[in-house]
Amino acid sequence: MKKIDPAKLPRHIAIIMDGNGRWAKKNALRRIAGHRAGVKAVRTVVTACREMGIRYLTLYAFSVENWLRPQKEVNALMTLLGEYLEKELPTMLKNNIRLTTIGNVDVLPQKVREILIDSIEETSRNNGMVLNLALSYSGRDEIVRAVRKIMRDAGEKSFDPDEITMQTFSGYLDTSGIPDPDLLIRTSGEYRLSNFLLWQTAYTEFYFTDVLWPDFSRQDLNKAILDYQKRERRFGLTSDQLPKD
C-alpha cells in the first residue's frame, strides 16, 4: 500500500469477477459455496476502493449469458444478490457510497428488482464513491439498445445523422455520466472481455491474474493498481507528446 501513488490512482476500476465455480470445485464444495465466498471478496474490494479513494468501481455481477446456467444456480445467484443488497445498504450509507446499475435490470425477479431499486434510491445522495453493478448485462446488447434509443429519438424529432459523435453515442449507453474505466481487472487466469464494456474499454489498461475471485484480496488489488501505475497511457500519442510531470 505504501508503494501506491495516491496522485495516480485509477479514477474508475472495472472488475470481471471470475472463478467462483472453480474455487468451489478446488475446495470440494458446491458451486453456491463459491458464489457465497465471492460475495466476501466483493465486500473486501469495495471497502478497499472506498478507503483508497477510487471514485468509480464497476463489478460484472451477472451477464445476459448467465441466464443460461442451470435454473437452480440462477435462483441461488438472485437470492445472493438480494441478500447482499439488503445487508450492505447500511454500510453503503455509512461510507457515502452511491449504488448504480447497468444492464437490463427489468428482467430481474421482482423481489430482487424491488430491493435493488430501493438501494439505488436510498444511496442516491451519496457522493463518496459510485458502486456500479453490471446486472443482466451484455456489451453488445447495450450497444444495440443505444442504437434503438437513437433511432427512436430520430423518429420523434429532427435528427441529423452527421451530428452523432462518439460523445453523443456514449450518452445513450448505460454508463452515461460515468467515465470509461482506467483499469480493468479479470481474475481466474482468463484473458478475454466476455462481452463486458466493449465500447468503454477502448483505452482501458487490462490486468489479468490467476487468482480465483473468492481468494482475491486487498493485496491483490494493490498489485493490480501498482502494475497500472507503472504503465504509460498514451491514447494514440507518442511518449514525447505526453505532458511532463
Q: Report d(CA 121, CA 142) in Å as an integer.
A: 23
Any bridge partners for residue 58, and if so which? 14, 132
The overall longest dimension of the chain from CA atoms, in Å, is 61
Q: Which of 18, 174, 180, 182 is catalytic?
A: 18
CATH topology for 6-137+181-228 is Undecaprenyl pyrophosphate synthetase (3.40.1180)
Q: Which of 66, 95, 104, 195 is catalytic?
A: 66
In 102-141, which positions are buried (b, 16+ CB within 10 angstroms) versus exposed (e)?
Answer: bbbbeebeeebbebbeebbeebeebeebbbbbbbbbbbeb
**Sequence spans of domains, the chain:** 6-137+181-228
Rounded to 5 degrees, what are φ and ψ at 141?
Answer: -60, -40
Quick one: pLDDT at residue 241?
55
State yes or no: is 222 an active-site residue: no
Per-residue pLDDT of the chain (245 residues; tens, 9 = 90+): 679 999 999 999 999 999 999 999 999 999 999 999 999 999 999 999 999 999 999 999 999 999 999 999 999 999 999 999 999 999 999 999 999 999 999 999 999 999 999 999 999 999 999 999 999 999 999 999 999 999 898 877 777 888 889 999 999 999 999 999 999 999 999 999 999 999 999 999 999 999 999 999 999 999 999 999 999 876 565 555 566 66
Q: What is the pLDDT of residues 26-64, one digit of tens each?
A: 999 999 999 999 999 999 999 999 999 999 999 999 999
Q: Give this prediction's pTM.
A: 0.93
User: What's the grid cell of residue 128?
Assistant: 463518496
Q: Is 75 marked active-site?
A: no
